[in-house]
Amino acid sequence: MSATEDLLKIDEELYSRQLYVLGHEAMQKMATATVLVSGMTGLGVEIAKNVILAGVKSVTLHDQDDAQWRDLSSQFYLSENNVGQNRAKVSQEHLSKLNDNVEVIPHTSELTENFLATFKVVVLTNSSLKEQLDISDFCHANQICFVLANTKGLAGQVFCDFGENFVVYDPSEADPASAAIKHITLGNPGLLTVAHDDEQGHFFMDGDWVMFSEIEGMTQLNGSKPRQICVKGKNTLEIGDTSSFSPYQHGGIITQVKMPQKHSYKSLRACMANPKFNTQDSKKMFRYHTLHAAFQALHTFQNKYGRLPIIIPWQEDADMLVELVRIPAMDQEQENLIRTFAYGCMGDLSPMNSFIGGLAAQEVLKAVSGKFTPLDQWLYFDAYECLPEGDHNLRRYLQFLILFQKSGAIGCELLKNFAMIGLAAGEGGEITVTDMDIIEKSNLNRQFLFRPQDVSKQKSEVAAAAVRRMNPNINVIAQKNQVGPDTEHFYGDDFFLGLDGVVSALDNFQARNHVGERCVHYLKPLLDSGTDGTMGNALVFVPYLTKTHGHIQDGDGRDFPLCTLRYFPSNIQHTIQWARNQFEDLFKRRAEDTNKFLR
C-alpha cells in the first residue's frame, strides 16, 4: 500500500463528529503532524490530551522534572504514588491509551535545536522567559509553528507564531453562503439579484469570492473562476464584468468560495515590547496590556528571587511585583489588578487549565490543518470575578451536592475539574451523575474518561470510576436514569431540596427545559452548557440574582442525538426521525454524492 493510500485511511467511526466539523482534508493533514508539548503540569497534560484525542500523528511529552505534591491538585494523571517520578513518563502511560492512532513519546532531556527541528508544532507551557525566547526564535526561523500557553491562578495567556507565510485554507467556521439567483444584468459591473422567500436577504459580505452553477442563458458564469463580489443591497450584488456574456434567462445558484488567506506572524521576541492582542474591545485591550506586563514582571521576579510570589505575607511580594511592572503612569485600577495577579500566582487551577488548554490545543489543530483563522497573536483571560469578597472559609465551597446530567464530552471535562478542585471531597459532600446512554466508539474521540474496553458500558458508571481514580476522596454516585417528567419519582422534592447546585450538559431541549424549570421551582443555582460543532454556550441561573432559565424552543423538532435514536427511542418523533434519516441516506444523500462526484 502506498503512503498516499495509507494517509487516506481515517477511522470514520472514531472521528465521525470531528470529521463533520473539519472535513477529510484537514484530518489527513493532522494525521501527518508531529507535535511537541513541553511541561507536563496541569496545563501541559490538558493540551496534550486534547491534541491526542483529535488525531495527530504523534505527540511528544517533554518534562525534565519529577512530580511534586503540589502537582496533584491539577495534573489529573498523577497520584500520590507518582511523587518523585518523571512527569512526562507518568503522563505517557495514561495519554497513550487515549488514541491508538497517535504515537505518544516521553522526552526527559534538554530541548536541542536538532530535536526541535523534527516537529510541525512546538508548545511551551512551563518554561523560563529565556527558554521561551530562544525556542521561539528558532521556530520562527525554521517555519515551525510555535504556541505558548501559561496559567497563574485565575489568569492565563496564549501566544501564537505560525511564521511569516502561514496559509489558512479555510478561514471561517461558518458554512459557505449560498442563494438562488433571480436575475443578472449585462454590464460592467453586472448586478445579480438574489431570490429569497423572506425578509432576511442573503448572507454574502463585501469581498467574498463566489462561483456560479446551473445558470441558463448566461452560461459563461457556470464553472468559471471565483469572482469577488461587492454587496449593494439586501438583494443585490456586484459580480464583475458581464457585458460580453449571453443574456441571462433564468435559474442558477451563487455559492461562496472560501479562498486561502496568507497570514504573517512575528516572533515572541518581537511581540514582547509591542504586543498584538486578539481583541478589538477597548476594555479588554486595557486589561490585556496590564496582564501582559504582569506576566513579564513575574518572569523577572522568578529570575531574581528563584520563586513565585508567596501567599503569606500577602503585601510584601505583591509590592515587589508591582515595582517590577513596566507600565508608564500606572493607575490604581492597573495596580489593583497586578496585586490580585500576584496573590494568585502560586495557584494552579484545573478549570483555568481546561480553558486555556482548550484554546491552545485548538491553535495547534489550526496550525497543522490550515483550517480556521488562528489567534493574532496574544490572548489573555482572567476570572478574578470568581474570587469571594472578604475572608471566607474556602472549604465551604467544596461541600456541594450536585446533580450532574450527562457524562458526555462536556460532562467528562466538568467531572474531571470537580475531582481536581476537591468538590464533594469532604464530609457530607456528594455528586450524583446520571446518564442513560452507553459508550460508543465515536465517544472515545471526545470523552477522555472512556477507553476502547469501555464501549457498550454505562457512561455514568465508567465516568464516576475514572474520576475516583483521579481523586479517591471524591464522593460520586452514578445513576442511569433519563431526566424528565417520567423520572420525578427519582428526582422529586426530597432530591432537589437536598441540592446545593445543579450542572447540566444535556443534548436535547426537552430535558434542558425540564431541568431549568425544576431549578427555578426549587430556587437552585444552575450551570447549563452545550456545544454544536465549533460553537458552544453556557448559561448560569442564580436565584434572585440572574434572570430565570427561559423556555428554549425545540426548533422544528428534527434534531435528536444519534444515541437516542439508536438505543433509547421514547416518543413518536424519535421513530419519525429514524425513518427520515434512513430515507435520506438511501435515496437522497447517495444520489447527491453521486451527482457531486460526476460534476
3 state SS of 232? coil
Rounded Cα distance, 37 and 88, in Å: 10
Distances (CA, A) of 25 to 28, 360, 451: 5, 22, 27
Measured between alpha carbons, how far is 20 from 8 in angstroms, rounded to an integer? Answer: 16
Which residue in the list 145, 160, 271, 563 is annotated as catalytic?
563
CA atoms within 13 A of residue 148's CA, in its CB half-sphere: 28
- Quick one: which H or E segment has residue 462? helix 459-470
Residue with cell 470537580: 418
Enclosing H/E stretch for 304: helix 282-305
> How many Cα atoms occupy the beta-carbon half-sphere of 340 within 13 Å?
19
Strands 476-479 and 378-382: unpaired
Residue 138 grid coordinates: 528558532
How far, in Å, CA of 80 to CA of 311, rounded? 24
The sign of the CA dihedral 368, 373, 376, 381 is negative
Interaxial angle between packed helices 332-344 and 282-305, expressed in degrees from 0 to 180 and rounded to the nearest 10: 50
Helix, strand, coil content of the chain in percent (nearest 5):
40, 20, 40
Residue 396 contacts by C-beta under 8 Å, 6 or more apart in sequence?
A: none
* 335 residue type, one letter: E
Q: Residue for cell digits 425544576?
A: 518
- Determine the distance from the C-alpha atom of residue 592 to the mean position of all C-alpha atoms in its chain, rounded to a whole number: 32
Residue 450 DSSP symbol: -
Coil, helix or strand at residue 526: strand
Angle at which helices 314-324 and 282-305 cross, to 10°: 110
Helix and strand counts by DSSP (H, E) for the chain: 19, 22
Q: Which three cell numbers stand for residue 247?
A: 443574456
Phi, psi angles (nearest 5°) of residue 53: -60, -35
Phi, psi of 285 (to 5 degrees): -60, -45
User: Three-state secondary structure along 321-344?
Assistant: HHHHCCCCCCCHHHHHHHHHHHHH
State the burial class of residue 451 (Cβ atoms within 10 Å of its Cβ: 0-12, 13-18, 19+).
middle
The sign of the dihedral angle between the CA atoms of 283, 284, 290, 293 is negative
In sequence order, what are the residues at sequence separation of 6 or more whose Cβ sits closer than 8 angstroms to the Cβ of residue 469? 79
Alpha-carbon radius of gyration of the chain: 27
563 given a catalytic annotation: yes
Q: How far is CA 451 from the centre of its chain?
A: 21
**Mind telling me the catalytic residues?**
563
